[in-house]
Amino acid sequence: MLILLLAFITFVLTTLQSTTVLGQFNFYSENSTPNNRPIIGILAQEKSPDHSKSYIAASYVKFIEGAGARVVPIWIGRDECYYEDILSKINGVLWPGGSASFANSNGGYADAGYKIYKIAKRMNDNGDYFPILGICLGFELLTYVVAERFPHRTRCRAQTLPLQLEFTPDYKSGRMFSDISDNVEDILRTKKVTSNQHLNCVTKSGLQRAGVSDKFQILSLNHDLNNLEFISSLEHITYPFYGLQFHPEKNLYEWKIGEKIPHGKNAIEIAQYFANFFVNEARKNHHIFQSSEEEAQTLIYNYSPTYTALGDSVFMQSYIFDLVNTSY
């Protein structure tokens, strides 16, 4: 009897060790059937100065569509029930770049992002693999919500700045770069192909000050025009939450003169790498809408982009939404 009990205890301990590696959840099996109809939610943000409207830059929509997924807009200013409902039907969330304020956001981008983070975290805790990708402002939002909205960004000079990545020594041990090809790695390491357009930076000391340096694996660093070191890519240690301070979608779809956006063959290849990576993460989730009719009424196809580059926008095209009339 004692031998059987010891055998059972050994089996349980072995099982637990196989499901947790370096603090990371291993609740998704690579043998699972991938979802080949993934839908990604992209969070809108308040449109300045007219806060009666919100918007999503069309380049983020194309970024996701170009990797084989469809897009649903996620509205700001809604209650938690709305975000619970929409996240239960989609397969991942992208937080785009922009200029929304984190302070006193009054139900805007940062508030919505915090609600989404809490729900996605709970989903993953329950074994429901649900990824998030933050780009530029969305990258900053990821560290902000994990820090329970503790301000920790540093002002920096990293606008119109194409850079190569300064990989950390253990960057390949993370999920984002574990399967990177030699060619893409070489491009990112040696070519100035990442488009940086930010006035705020997240630094190692900032994460330490916020008490969340142990929550993230830093994958790459960079330096701004004043030689300030900032974090350019990271991922959450436990959850499939990823952040890029630079803009891969701009390489593909934004053409504003003066922003020094890399558009060459190498820049396109690395941009596609990040799009493919995130959509493949979303394929691990199997949420679906209750009906094909509900899905069809929710997709971004119900809206038309506006050619906003004719004005003073940094975006070639944007989806502009009336906050009063957006509903599903």
What residue spans define the domains of the chain?
39-322
28: confidence class by pLDDT, cuts 50, 70, 90: low
DSSP string, 92-111: -EEE--S---STT-TTSHHH
- Residues catalogued as catalytic: 136, 247
Half-sphere exposure of 64 (CA within 13 A, CB side): 32
Strands (E), 164-290: 166-167, 194-201, 216-223, 229-236, 241-244
**Is residue 206 within a helix (H) or strand (E), and if so which, with residue range?**
helix 204-210
Closest among 76, 117, 77, 111 to 93, alpha carbons compared: 117
Whole-number Å distance between alpha carbons of 283 and 264: 29
pLDDT digits (tens, 9 = 90+) for 7-24: 444 443 444 433 333 334
Give the pLDDT score at 8. Answer: 45
Half-sphere exposure of 132 (CA within 13 A, CB side): 31
Class of domain 39-322: alpha beta
Whole-number Å distance between alpha carbons of 106 and 109: 9
Give the pLDDT score at 317. Answer: 97
This prediction's pTM: 0.90
Closest among 283, 290, 298 to 91, alpha carbons compared: 283
For residues 40-57, give the mean pLDDT: 90
Closest among 229, 230, 199 to 314, alpha carbons compared: 199
Average pLDDT of the chain, as a whole number: 91
Instruction: Yes or no: say if 49 and 101 are a contact pair by the CB < 8 Å rule.
Output: no
